[in-house]
Amino acid sequence: MELCFATNNQHKLDEVRAIIGGKISIVSLKEIGCNEELAETTGTIAGNSRQKAEFVFKNYGINCFADDSGLEVDSLNGAPGVDSAIYAGPQRSHYDNIKVLLKNLEGIFNRNSRFVTVITLFLNGEVFQFEGEVTGKILYEKKGTEGFGYDPIFMPDGFSKTLAQMSMEEKNKISHRARAIEKLVKFINSKFE
């Protein structure tokens, strides 16, 4: 089975392809000829996920899924949340986003947070959503060079290293995206047994 993953983010593609393995052939937006930036204007993680998947399904006629993710920090009332990618501005800089988040957390002891991913699947005209999350804490400084986004400052509960200090294999066992993808794969396998 072939599915389009509605992204051109190579980090996300690599993660998802590693999680799914050879069960499902994953193609990117670029591979189906979609070179435009997909809108994320609904104001919610679930809504943005659906908006992107629906656009691809309606305009390219291919079964597809899209994700949207966010980092929600308790003491910041869930911010950056749906705006995680643009927290420091429209330039979408991981470095800038981390810098702004750490500044906003200066003097704050409660650093409990969670990463959440919602995946929307458009499959033969039907729509399904899957959520994954991982809880943890925001560190005071960056640690590690793997991963992307907020990974260098996020330490998952029960671990002594950040997501950026983990190998892709380790991260893919516990990450929010991995948990949502596992639900997606389980669902697809059950539909096509």
> Which positions are annotated as active-site residues?
68
Closest among 110, 109, 129, 130 to 178, alpha carbons compared:
130
* Residues in CB range of 135: below 8 A, 6 or more apart: 112, 113, 114, 156, 157
Residue 131, φ and ψ in degrees, nearest 5: -120, 145
Whether the bond between 90 and the residue before it is cis, its omega within 30 degrees of 0, is no
* Residues in CB range of 123: below 8 A, 6 or more apart: 63, 188, 191
Instruction: Kindly calculate the radius of gyration of the chain based on its CA atoms and give it in whole angstroms.
Output: 16
Structure tokens at 14: 């690599």
Inter-residue contact 65 to 122 (CB < 8 Å): yes
* Residues in CB range of 103: below 8 A, 6 or more apart: none
